[in-house]
C-alpha cells in the first residue's frame, strides 16, 4: 500500500488518546505546523473527547480508535496513549497504510519492535 503523499499536500492528522499531554505539549503543534491539519481525535470517554474537540476546534471525534484509523479523510495518526498500547495501535495504523507518529518507543524492547 502506498503511503507517500504528493509534494505540498496538507497532511490530515488524527490523534488517538487526547489526554493531558496533547493539551499543552504535543497537540498544539499538530494544529500550528504548516502543512498539517488536525481533523480528528479519539478518546474512549465520549464526554471528554467531545469537549476536547470543541475546545480545540477539531471537526471529528471518535470513541473507537479503529474508526479514526480507518477514516478515509485521515492521512496520518499520532498515538498519544499509554506506552503499553503503542504497538497495538501502531500495527493497526501500518495495516491501514497510513503515516504513524509515536512520541515514545513503540515497545519496551528492540526485540519486541
Which CATH fold topology does 11-112 show?
Rossmann fold (3.40.50)
Measured CA to CA in angstroms, residue 23 lies from 11, 49, 63, 104, 109 at distances of 20, 12, 18, 17, 28
Residue 70 burial (CB count, 10 A): 14
Residue 2 has pLDDT above 60, yes or no: no
Confidence of residue 7 (pLDDT cuts 50, 70, 90): confident
Average model confidence (pLDDT) for the chain?
91
Going by C-alpha positions, the residue among 79, 74, 84, 82 that lies closest to residue 103 is 79
Mean pLDDT of 9-32: 91
pLDDT, one tens digit per residue, over 50-67 is 999 999 999 999 999 999
Confidence of residue 27 (pLDDT cuts 50, 70, 90): confident
CB burial of 31-64 (b: ≥16 within 10 Å; e: otherwise) equals eeeeebbbbbbbbeeeeebeebbeebebebbbee
Record the pTM: 0.89
Amino acid at each position: 500500500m502506498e503511503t507517500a503523499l504528493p509534494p505540498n499536500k496538507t497532511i490530515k492528522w488524527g490523534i488517538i488518546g487526547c489526554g493531558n499531554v496533547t493539551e499543552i505539549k504535543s497537540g498544539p503543534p499538530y494544529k500550528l505546523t504548516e502543512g498539517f491539519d488536525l481533523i480528528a481525535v479519539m478518546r474512549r470517554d465520549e464526554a471528554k473527547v467531545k469537549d476536547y474537540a470543541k475546545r480545540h476546534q477539531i471537526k471529528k471525534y471518535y470513541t473507537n480508535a479503529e474508526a479514526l484509523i480507518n477514516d478515509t479523510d485521515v492521512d496520518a495518526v499520532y498515538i498519544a496513549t499509554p506506552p503499553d498500547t503503542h504497538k497495538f495501535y501502531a500495527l493497526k495504523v501500518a495495516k491501514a497504510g497510513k503515516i504513524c507518529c509515536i512520541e515514545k518507543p513503540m515497545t519496551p524492547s528492540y526485540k519486541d519492535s
